[in-house]
Structure 1
Amino acid sequence: MPIINRIGDLAPDMAAWRQHLHSIPELAFDCPKTSAFIQERLAEIGVDEVHGGIAQTGIVAIINGQGEGPTIGLRADFDALPIEEETGVAYASTHPGKMHACGHDGHTAMLLGAAKYLAETRNFSGRVALIFQPAEEDGGGGEVMVQEGIMDRFGIGEVYAIHNAPGKDFGKFHTRGGPIMAAADTFHIHVTGKGGHAARPHDCVDPVVATCAIVNAFQTIVSRNHKPLDQLVISTTQIHTGTTDNVIPESAYINGTVRTFSKDVQAMVVRRMEEVVAGTAAAYGCEAKLAFEFGYPPTVNDTDKAGFAARVAAEVAGEAGVEQDVEPVMGAEDFSYMLEARPGAYLMLGQGDGAGVHHPKYNFNDEIAPIGASFFARLVETAQPVR
């Protein structure tokens, strides 16, 4: 696999950086140790500018190339998840209840490796903006960085990111033009009835049966209210009610997620949920309130930029090492906000067999870091050649 030789030499450094970050996982925007470590490495690498404190702990670093030209953005996320680690590795989390279970430690190491190579060689024109982002898992750090003006402040014209993909062939890139990941919204429903003795249900208004009916009715939205070819997921993930076997509770709580690609489908779901909740609760003599929270929008690749990224990936992984029309997935990513602000592309990079992301036994495969870093570097050199 034709990774860049110099980046291949940096593989031990990238593994060491990644494993250190793995041992100090931090959540959401509160990532001071992670941010400090990245800034220390950037200073050692010799980038031209380091701007911290963006979205609290986020960073944008600039590397100047040879001569005038545009600025290309490369993004890595660096926050962890509230999961108790079960990998058993020597560099496991030293922060109880937190772990890098999605590979953001690896994404950061890959971007640092690419940064070191680009700072050494500067075989490109214009500038590179290295975007190190907190709060991908919770809080929308990508949105906050965009809102704080990084695209205009640093003149970023296009932007790219990679996510590791456990279970996919080692070293194979996957991308597509158009939607690649879904919007992720959340619903909360509070159902209120009248509690009492379970032996006297006729004296009560039972919120449990109303809750069950609401949850079942939601699936008719999927099966009867939208086109079968339009992707839609409605998953109820929490139901909380009651405390014992002989008491009908006063209330119940329902929570879940909605995944869509189309704003029209999303609007239809909100409307039908409101109708189902109100109508079903009334049918059972209860009251119910729906709160619908709009989350990350769909991640939509620019078609031309995705094609360009796939061609660059093929230079690193070979033609057989790139799938250019991968099926969209119903997961979500806050890189979507950056792609709303600027054209660009999001790619997956297979890391072979192993536990999936968000699993307590997941671990990033350090062997793919030189592949991802080589892609980032070639992307810059190809997009902005020295003139």
Structure 2
Amino acid sequence: MTLSQKLLDDATAWRRTFHAAPELGFAEVQTSQRVADLLHSFGLQVHRGLGGTGVVGTLRVGEGPTIGLRADMDALPIQELGQCAHSSRHPGAMHACGHDGHTAILLATARHLSETKSFRGTVHFVFQPAEENLGGAQKMIEDGLFERFPMQAIYGLHNWPGAPAGRVIINPGAMMASLDTFEITVTGKGSHAAMPDRGFDPIVAASELVLALQTITSRRLSPLDSAVVSVTQFNAGEAINVIPETAVLRGTVRCLQTPVREKVQQLLGEFVEQLPKAFGARGALQYRVGYPVTENHPASAALVRDAAVAVLGEANVQWGCNPSMASEDFAYMLQACPGAYVWMGVDGVEPSAALHNPYYDFNDQVIEPGVRLWASLVERSLPV
């Protein structure tokens, strides 16, 4: 497979332009316009507005099957601290997760395939908004993604610090955890801080609840089950000499198996209902089911592995890994359509900054192996 230096140079320029002008979820107006303009210039059919700011570019080469390739476009609400020439020009927003790189890779793949036409069938290039916590994938599905653009499989790629640049990492099963959120309100009886016996202190009850929730994973689940329960917010009180009426806890639950996810939700409810009573308080739980487990379909994952080995070499492909307890809304697409999600390493001579770090910058050297992977996958899925 030959990729022109002009293509790679253009893709790098696109990536850096996106990085300098990041836009948050469902506000990717200029980004989606630029994506649509480029796809149109490659000769693709372009469809805008799916999921708000989503874009789908369609490339047909004769009769044959149909697959989809997806990239996310949104940035994060983080102030960039790096000093590169293409640093964010938008205060409080930056591409700290590499979605600028994902978008550039997919655009370069679309142009390459539009020029080579080295397949038979149809490829939908799906540019998704609002991956970061806002569920843009689900919004595109609700807007008819798979009805308007039927496909036999869909694939997604994410860059992965901690692995060598260009290395492909994929599982035949779970890649990333589910994500649910909760809010717990503990209601006691307010009183003077000097007279705690005249009230029921919700702060003490909520503090005990924070500790007790940690025993869900350590004592109520099998050590072989994967789950993380994290309390990330604790809000109570307004005056230093007043025991308040209520305390509010918020946090997340992440799991790799659906039965474990259901068990954790059940146990959380039991703890919230029962433990505060020992302190004369009562608890109320709001549990919000969020992103599912990002779980690859085995046959699709194997196809990605073979496509990667063909163009990157067996030494650059890792089949089987520990799933991440982070979450990804591409999971919604894998629930609705067969497919697979793959990580690609980005560490160069120096290790990459972590994802969601204010110093993160996508490694442009990964654009070439990313395009090679997607083009190889298309050619294997839609052979001439």
The answer as to 2:185 corresponding to 1:186 is no
- Given that 2:165 and 2:365 are in contact with CA atoms closer than 8 Å, whether structure 1 keeps it comes out as no
Query: Which residue of structure 2 aligns with residue 82 of structure 1?
Result: 77
Aligned counterparts of 2:160 and 2:305: Cα–Cα separation in 1: 16
Query: Which residue of structure 1 aligns with residue 250 of structure 2?
Result: 255
- Given that 1:168 and 1:351 are in contact with CA atoms closer than 8 Å, whether structure 2 keeps it comes out as yes
| Per-residue deviation, residues 235-271 of structure 1 (Å, max 9, x unmatched) | 1111112234432222111011101122221121111
Q: Which moves more between the two structures, 366-375 or 244-253?
A: 244-253
Residue 12 of structure 1, aligned match among 9, 14, 21? 9
What amino acid sits opposite 1:64 in the alignment?
R
For residues 74-223 of structure 1, what are the structure 2 equivalents within 5 Å? 74-223=69-218
Aligned counterparts of 1:207 and 1:13: Cα–Cα separation in 2: 59
- Given that 2:171 and 2:320 are in contact with CA atoms closer than 8 Å, whether structure 1 keeps it comes out as yes
Closer, same or farther: CA 96–341 of 1 in aligned 2, 3 Å: same
What amino acid sits opposite 1:360 in the alignment?
P
What amino acid sits opposite 2:24 in the alignment?
L
Shift of 1:382: 1.4
What amino acid sits opposite 2:238 in the alignment?
T
Residue 72 of structure 1, aligned match among 67, 71, 78? 67
Residue 306 of structure 2, aligned match among 307, 311, 314? 311
The answer as to 2:53 corresponding to 1:61 is no
**Matched position secondary structure for 2:152:** strand
The Cα RMSD (Å) is: 1.2
Aligned counterparts of 2:47 and 2:223: Cα–Cα separation in 1: 47
**Matched position secondary structure for 2:155:** strand
| TM-score, structure 1 as length reference | 0.96
Aligned counterparts of 2:196 and 2:216: Cα–Cα separation in 1: 30
Q: Which moves more between the two structures, 53-62 or 82-91?
A: 82-91
Aligned counterparts of 1:280 and 1:227: Cα–Cα separation in 2: 22
Shift of 1:278: 1.2
Query: Which residue of structure 1 aligns with residue 364 of structure 2?
Result: 366
Aligned counterparts of 2:79 and 2:208: Cα–Cα separation in 1: 35
Count of aligned pairs: 381
Aligned counterparts of 2:226 and 2:88: Cα–Cα separation in 1: 37
Query: Which residue of structure 1 aligns with residue 33 of structure 2?
Result: 36
The answer as to 2:289 corresponding to 1:291 is no
- Given that 2:64 and 2:121 are in contact with CA atoms closer than 8 Å, whether structure 1 keeps it comes out as yes
Aligned counterparts of 2:176 and 2:255: Cα–Cα separation in 1: 9
The answer as to 2:335 corresponding to 1:337 is no
| Per-residue deviation, residues 105-164 of structure 1 (Å, max 9, x unmatched) | 100000000000001111100111000000110221111112222222122111111100
| Per-residue deviation, residues 320-376 of structure 1 (Å, max 9, x unmatched) | 101111111111111111111111111000000121111111111111011101111
- Unaligned runs of 5+ residues in structure 1 are none
Residue 225 of structure 1, aligned match among 213, 220, 245? 220
Aligned counterparts of 1:253 and 1:7: Cα–Cα separation in 2: 57
- Given that 1:7 and 1:113 are in contact with CA atoms closer than 8 Å, whether structure 2 keeps it comes out as no
Shift of 1:7: 4.8
**Matched position secondary structure for 1:308:** helix
Shift of 1:94: 1.6
| TM-score, structure 2 as length reference | 0.97
- Given that 1:8 and 1:370 are in contact with CA atoms closer than 8 Å, whether structure 2 keeps it comes out as no
Aligned counterparts of 1:310 and 1:274: Cα–Cα separation in 2: 41
Aligned counterparts of 1:249 and 1:167: Cα–Cα separation in 2: 45
- Unaligned runs of 5+ residues in structure 2 are none
Aligned counterparts of 1:144 and 1:283: Cα–Cα separation in 2: 43
Aligned counterparts of 1:289 and 1:149: Cα–Cα separation in 2: 36
Query: Which residue of structure 2 aligns with residue 279 of structure 1?
Result: 274
Residue 45 of structure 1, aligned match among 42, 45, 50? 42
